[in-house]
Amino acid sequence: MNVLLSPQPPSFFSHQHDLNRRSPTRSMSSPFYNTLGSSRKRKAEDDGDEMSVSPTSSPAIQSRQLAPRATKKIRSSELAGRPLSLPRLLETLDATQLRTVLQTICERQPEIGEEVVKSAPRPTVECALQVLKEYQDKLRNAFPYGDSSSDYTYFRVKQPLVALIEALADFTPQYLPPHETSANVSLQYLDGATKVVHELPEWENHRHHKENAYDEISKAWALVINEASKRGAGFTLHSAGWDQVLAKHNQQSGGRLGAAIASMSANLGWVGGPGGGIPNTSGGQGSILEDIMSGNYGSPVSVGPW
């Protein structure tokens, strides 16, 4: 009985109690739990790394992040004034302004002017006459309204008058031989240029402008006729009616195209006949052309009274 009732040694229960109380400490310090804890820790850290890496590695997130940066860059750039580009600037210039700019550049750099002369197409007769017409319009617009003295009118229109005459003198050599080889082109220009000379104003005290213009245009006609005759184009000039055209111009000028008429008479008189307005130099027996057409050319000529 004493044995049964005797208390147990406290060491056993205290040992169990200590085990139960210290078991968490031992379990946490055991290699198994250390390994498990470290794995869980690494997993958590890995999860954290993935969370920190995955948003930036996602294409959608990257696009959302890049777009604000680009927008921010555009917004940060400020507008600044700048000159127009060359194509846009040329679109704003009219023909007169373009000519002025080009002429200024050519004067500063003569080699560019030479390249322009070589590259530019030759002006047609229509273009040249159109330019002369523009000078004529400026001259007409310069005349004063109402009745004015001849001297006042002359000095009022002198500048555009001289500009027209100078343009006429500059354009005419362009269409003369040997630079222009086509007699038809030369005569087309001279026809239009002579009409311009007819319309030049004329005053009693200031007649030299128109007189000189007639003299120069008459020499131009004579040069073209002489060169055309040398190339055997005399019959072509007559058949095209240029002798008739020149005769009318001479009549309208008051006989001031003497050099041209003399050249036409000397070179085309044998085909012009009296009806062409050109003196006939065949001695009153008709032109050779008329003899050929009538069949009388080369017929025997009677000599003596019988």
Percentage of residues in the chain with pLDDT exceeding 90?
A: 51
* Domains by residue range for the chain, with CATH: 124-294 (1.20.58.1590)
pLDDT in tens, 107-129: 999 999 999 999 999 999 999 99
127 closest CA partner among 95, 162, 152, 90: 95
Distances, alpha carbon 241 to alpha carbons 22, 118, 129, 247, in Å: 139, 35, 21, 10
Q: Which residue has the tokens 């009219």?
A: 94
CB 179 within 8 A of CB 158: no
Distance CA 197, CA 172 (A): 12
CB 140 within 8 A of CB 156: no
CB 171 within 8 A of CB 135: no
CB 258 within 8 A of CB 218: yes
- The answer to pTM > 0.85 is no
- Position 83: which residue type? P
Per-residue pLDDT, 70:
53
- Position 100: which residue type? T
What one-character DSSP code corresponds to residue 121? P
Rg (CA), the chain: 54
> What tokens appear for 118 in the block?
């070589």
User: Is a pLDDT exceeding 50 seen at residue 33?
Assistant: no
Per-residue pLDDT, 76:
56
pLDDT bracket for residue 297 (50, 70, 90): very low
Average of per-residue pLDDT across 233-254 = 87
Distance CA 268, CA 278 (A): 8
Longest dimension (CA), the chain: 210
